[in-house]
Structures are given as C-alpha cells and as structure tokens.
Structure 1
Amino acid sequence: MTNDVKRQRYHFDLAGFQRMASLNYARLRRLVERLGVNQSLTLVTPSTMQVECKCLNHAPYTSDIELTQVANLGELPGTQPVHLEVRLYHDAKLAEVTAAQGVRRLAAVYPQPNQAMHQTNEKYQVNQFLHEWLQLLKQH
C-alpha cells in the first residue's frame, strides 16, 4: 500500500528568529564595544576551543564582525573550522549571520531540492548555531 505524503510548506518563524537575533546581539555587543575596526580578540574555553572575533566594519547603526574557530585540539580530522560573518543592527538590537562557511546572502527559505543542497531553513539553522556557540562561549 502506498501512502501519498503531502509535504507541509515551511513557514519562516519571524518572531522566533527575532528573539534569537536579539539574544545573539546582547552577547555580541559586549565584544564589539571592545574592538575597533580591524582589531581582533581571541576567546579561549577550557575545552581548548579558540574563537577569533574580528571587527570588519563599524558604523553608527551597524557593525560587521567575523567569528572564526582558530583552534581546537580535539578537532576531528577532515572537519573545517567554523567561519561566520555577523551583522549587528544597533538600532534594532539584532544580530544576524550574513555569511557562513563562504556562503553569502542566505535566503530565509530554500526550495527543495536546490542546486547548493541547502536545507529549507538554512538561515534559521545557521543563526541557531551562532546562538548555541555563543552560549558555549559564555559558559567559559
């Protein structure tokens, strides 16, 4: 017997995304305040993870930062270090990932299937990853 399963259309959760972006902004704002343009600092956790935070651009209403995992002694062979570019919107108090692992201009929703093999909610997932990464860094 064959069941025809109708896929439900994905709806971007804008309110949830904004809540997460607001929390990410609150955590990143403190770092950005300490950095001038092209300055960087390295965050180190006891688990030997090192994350470099570099300010790429600072304007009255926005700041662009780059977060790169520079070292982790427990890293698995064949994995790539994490590289994110994040824009902070100071007037709205939101932060969003603008590039991840070299992919720029993430769409809110990707059709399935797609040429680049992005998940339907790739943008949300990348920002969720940033949120969880910042929580990990905050704990240490």
Structure 2
Amino acid sequence: MRKRYIPDLVKQMADCEANYLRLMRLMPDIEECNEREFEVHWQQQQSTVRLQIEERFKYTTTVVVSQSFDHSWLEVPSLVVRIYHDARAAEVICMKSRRQLRGVYSYPNTQMHQRDEKAQLNQYLGEWLSHCLTHGHEAEPVF
C-alpha cells in the first residue's frame, strides 16, 4: 500500500522565499520595468530568457518566465509566477497552458501530474533562476 503524500510546507515556503529573492536580483526595478530579457550562455549553448510582467496589483505581481533557444524544434518551458510582495515569496501558479496547479494531486490521475508537481515546479524555478544569475548576460548590468 502506498503511503499518503504529505506536502513539506516549510520546504515549499523556503523555496518560494528564495525564488522571490532571485527574481528581485534579476529584476530589481520590477515596479517600473515591464520586461527584462537576457542571454544565458553555458557550455557553448545560448538561450534567451524573458521575464515579462503580466499584471500588477498592490501586493502581487504576475510574471511570465520563458526561455527560447536557437533550435526551433525544442519545446521551451514557460512558467507563470505570482510574486507576493508582502510575504516576500514567489510561486509557480501555472504553466503556459494556464491551468492553475493544485498543491497535491492524487496518483494516478488523468493528466498524469506528479503528486507533488507544484513543489517540483517551484524547485525547478529556483534552479532555473540560479542558473540565470550565474550565467546570464545583459547589455546593461542590472545585478
């Protein structure tokens, strides 16, 4: 019998807080800037990462984080991230399909989501943003 999945809320909140700090380093002028684009170079590979503000409210900002490669055959990730300025946290709310993610999925399910899909995407976002901070280049420095 499978053990019931219980989300690790402390780890998930820590991931969201770290993602907030990473996004603020990549877009320190988030209140005035609507888009930031930069190149990421790593092992002779090059891609363009775009942070595009989709909506702004008093306490939240929604940003679409996307990446494009020179290869048109490669499906690129695109994440919709909600930034909570009062809580200093940023979490993935959905992928480009625009279907909001649940915190926990039963498994198996018809969409074949992982039980902890939202937690995995928040962790992935953190790794992606860290990679951008380490290997990203922009015409004008913003860090």
Fold equivalence (TM over 0.5): yes
Q: Which string of whole-angstrom CA distances, capped at 9 and with x for unpartnered residues, describes residues 15-39 of structure 1?
A: 0000000000001123444245782
- Determine which of 27, 39, 52 is the counterpart of 1:54: 52
SS in 1 for 2:128: helix
What is the alpha-carbon distance in structure 1 between the residues aligned to residue 16 and residue 61 of structure 2?
A: 14
Do the aligned residues in 2 keep the contact of 1:37 with 1:56 (CA within 8 Å)?
no
What is the alpha-carbon distance in structure 2 between the residues aligned to residue 105 and residue 8 of structure 1?
A: 26
- Determine which of 77, 80, 94 is the counterpart of 1:99: 94
Coordinate RMSD, CA, aligned: 1.9
Q: Within the alignment, does 1:30 sit opposite 2:25 as a pair?
A: yes
Q: Within the alignment, does 1:70 sit opposite 2:65 as a pair?
A: no
Provide structure 1 residue ranges, at least 5 long, that are not aligned to the other structure.
1-5
What is the alpha-carbon distance in structure 2 between the residues aligned to residue 24 and residue 114 of structure 1?
A: 28
* 1:1-140 equivalences in 2 (<5 Å): 6-35=1-30, 39-47=34-42, 48-71=46-69, 73=70, 75=71, 77=73, 79-140=74-135
Between structure 1 and structure 2, the one with the greater Rg is 1
SS in 1 for 2:90: strand
What is the alpha-carbon distance in structure 2 between the residues aligned to residue 37 and residue 55 of structure 1?
A: 10
SS in 2 for 1:46: strand
Q: Could you tell me the TM-score, scaled by structure 2's length?
A: 0.83
SS in 2 for 1:30: helix
Q: Could you tell me the TM-score, scaled by structure 1's length?
A: 0.85
Farther off after superposition, 82-91 or 100-109: 100-109
Amino acid across the alignment from 2:105 = Y
Provide structure 2 residue ranges, at least 5 long, that are not aligned to the other structure.
136-143
What is the alpha-carbon distance in structure 2 between the residues aligned to residue 127 and residue 29 of structure 1?
A: 16
Q: Percent identity?
A: 33
